[in-house]
């Protein structure tokens, strides 16, 4: 039958938040309660009669609570097919009550792991009976209603109220799908926590947000993940697919500069077109903007400091899609809200994923995140001339930006400012020439600037071109069989160069 009246319910939950209104409503509709442990006490404390599962089965909760509901008198009541004469005869013969509704939420395995629980504590939070109840009720959706997520309590309460406890097949089936999602996600979390050797990829993310469209208007797009854990949107239009890609690039870049002086970055199409580090935030923004005021139009802005009114006043005159900061002063926030579509985000301090996933052919590529950051202590000084302290500071600054720029890339920097970059070029020479041309277009003097490359130079042409443009110091990974040619050119032309030993391709 399509319609089913709820007459009995098995309720066994770990988290009882929001449960009371449902208990009240079910009791008012004459529903019989079965329950266990803390949930049984919860129902009794609300003033309602409830049959303990132990009384139903004739067996007590044993093994420290590990075995409570695993019994034919429980699962027979859930799994029986009400249209089957044989099933109904079995219920009568073995005195098994019909169970129309199962409300279960599981032991908090993921929360226990996140809280740093011991292995014993984590193992004890692997739910057995709850998972079995959910799967049984979900399987028998033709006759049984399953509520497996406390976030569905209000919607389920609405169903009870509007239909006086009568459920539709479509509703039961829809909730069964959510129940299987609950059990699947739970098992995936357990597997991923304990797996050390199986080369199996299991990903389960419960939070999903449908975007206006994908990369282009004719493409569908969705974001999976708890975005609000990282970013709080305080103003502006809905975040788009392309916004998210730029925001991701911006957040990962700025993490390299989160400590220290005020830093400001402007990104376009996932690459930094402006970046500067200065004693004041306003000056950092102005110098970042000066790096490429043309590309900055419609860009994504990010900083490592609280945005004040002076900086906000400068930002407000620029059309930009997104502004990201750890926080905003109230007057700065009010000013920036003057553009109704401008997206304003507060970035929270939480760890980001350490793996990167992307589809490839008919599968998925997985790699570790590039967590290697070049530092002054790791540099290998391989030329006769050594870079000055200011040049070393600029080399590390340029290297951090280079690491987060599409390959092939060359980054030119001077005095804590991104002067220009060549991004996503098919040859390193092209990337360098593009950067030099761009620097010249915006009237930057490259004398005393430094150059960083994401990969080694197979020939000395790049150091020669950079030197003739005014660059005084070079950073690269090294590793070419012709490294010595570049070293020789530097030594012959009073140019300093350092090797990092680490390549930073970004495709």
Which residues are marked as active site? 139, 269
The answer to whether the beta carbons of residues 425 and 402 sit under 8 Å apart is no
CA 327, CA 304: separation in Å to the nearest integer?
9
Specify the pairing of strand 231-235 against strand 262-268. unpaired
Angle at 395 between CA 391 and CA 400, to 5 degrees: 150
Residue whose C-alpha is closest to residue 421's, from 433, 410, 408: 410
Q: Is 174 helix (H, G, I), strand (E, B) or coil?
A: helix
* The token pair that represents 180 in the structure block: 């299987």
DSSP string, 309-377: HHHHHHHHTS-EEEEEES-B-HHHHHHHTTSTT-EEEEE---PPPSEEEEEETTEEEEEE-------GG
Q: 9 and 31 in contact (C-beta within 8 Å)? A: yes
Is residue 65 within 8 A of residue 38, CB to CB? The reply is: no
Cα four-point dihedral sign 288, 292, 296, 300 = negative
Rounded Cα distance, 106 and 277, in Å: 48
Whole-Å CA distances, 215 to 142, 218, 225, 237, 336: 41, 8, 18, 17, 27
CA 506 to chain centre: 19
Nearest CA-CA partner of 12 in 124, 164, 150: 150
Classify strands 208-210 and 51-52 as parallel, antiparallel or unpaired: unpaired
Q: How far are the Cα atoms of 94, 158, 191 from residue 136, in angstroms, in the given order?
A: 19, 24, 21
Q: Give ∠ CA 208-148-67 in degrees, rounded to 5.
A: 135
DSSP string, 131-172: HHHHHHHHHTTTT-EEE--GGGHHHHHHHHHHHTTEE-HHHH
Place of tokens 């739970």: 186
How far apart are the C-alpha atoms of 263 and 401, rounded to whole Å?
A: 12
Name every residue whose Cβ is closer than 8 Å to that of residue 454 and which is 6 or more positions away in sequence. 402, 403, 405, 407, 408, 409, 477, 503, 504, 505, 506
């Amino acid at each position: 039958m399509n319609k089913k009246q709820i007459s009995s319910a098995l309720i066994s939950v770990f988290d009882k938040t929001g449960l009371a209104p449902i208990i009240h409503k079910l009791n008012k509709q004459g529903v019989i309660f079965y329950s266990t442990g803390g949930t049984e006490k919860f129902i009794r404390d609300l003033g309602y009669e409830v049959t303990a599962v132990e009384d139903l089965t004739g067996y007590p909760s044993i093994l420290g609570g590990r075995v409570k509901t695993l019994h034919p008198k429980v699962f027979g009541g859930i799994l029986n097919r009400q249209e089957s004469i044989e099933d109904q005869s079995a219920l009568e013969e073995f005195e098994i009550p019909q169970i129309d509704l199962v409300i279960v939420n599981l032991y908090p395995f993921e929360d226990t792991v996140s809280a740093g629980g011991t292995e014993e504590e984590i193992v004890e939070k692997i739910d057995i009976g709850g998972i079995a109840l959910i799967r049984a009720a979900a399987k028998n959706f033709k006759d049984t209603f399953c509520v497996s997520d406390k976030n569905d309590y209000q919607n389920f309460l609405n169903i009870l109220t509007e239909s006086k406890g009568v459920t539709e097949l479509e509703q039961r089936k829809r909730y069964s799908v959510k129940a299987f999602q609950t059990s699947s996600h739970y098992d995936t979390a357990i597997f991923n926590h304990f797996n050390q050797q199986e080369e199996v990829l299991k990903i389960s993310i419960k939070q999903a947000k449908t975007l206006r469209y994908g990369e282009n208007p004719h493409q569908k797009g969705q974001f999976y993940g708890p975005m609000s854990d990282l970013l709080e949107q305080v103003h502006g239009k809905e975040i788009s697919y392309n916004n998210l890609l730029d925001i991701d690039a911006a957040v990962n870049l700025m993490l390299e500069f989160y400590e220290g002086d005020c830093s400001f970055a402007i990104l376009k199409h996932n690459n930094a077109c402006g970046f500067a580090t200065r004693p004041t935030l306003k000056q950092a923004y102005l110098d970042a903007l000066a790096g490429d005021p043309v590309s900055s139009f419609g860009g994504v802005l990010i900083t490592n400091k609280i945005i004040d009114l002076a900086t906000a006043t400068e930002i407000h005159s620029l059309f930009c899609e997104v502004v990201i900061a750890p926080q905003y002063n109230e007057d700065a926030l009010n000013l920036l809200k003057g553009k109704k579509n401008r997206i304003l985000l507060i970035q929270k301090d939480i760890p980001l994923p350490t793996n990167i996933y992307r589809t490839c052919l008919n599968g998925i590529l997985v790699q570790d995140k590039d967590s290697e950051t070049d530092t002054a202590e790791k540099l290998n000084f391989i030329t006769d001339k050594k870079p000055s302290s200011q040049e070393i500071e600029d080399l590390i600054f340029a290297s951090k930006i280079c690491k987060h720029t599409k390959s092939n890339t060359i980054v030119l920097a001077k005095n804590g400012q991104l002067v220009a970059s060549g991004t996503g070029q098919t040859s390193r020479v092209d990337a360098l020439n593009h950067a030099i041309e761009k620097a010249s277009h915006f009237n930057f003097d490259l004398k005393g600037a430094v150059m960083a490359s994401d990969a080694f130079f197979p020939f000395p042409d790049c150091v020669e071109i950079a030197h003739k443009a005014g660059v005084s110091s070079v950073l690269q990974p090294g590793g070419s069989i012709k490294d010595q040619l570049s070293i020789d050119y530097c030594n012959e032309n009073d140019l300093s160069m350092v090797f990092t030993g680490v390549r930073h391709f970004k495709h």
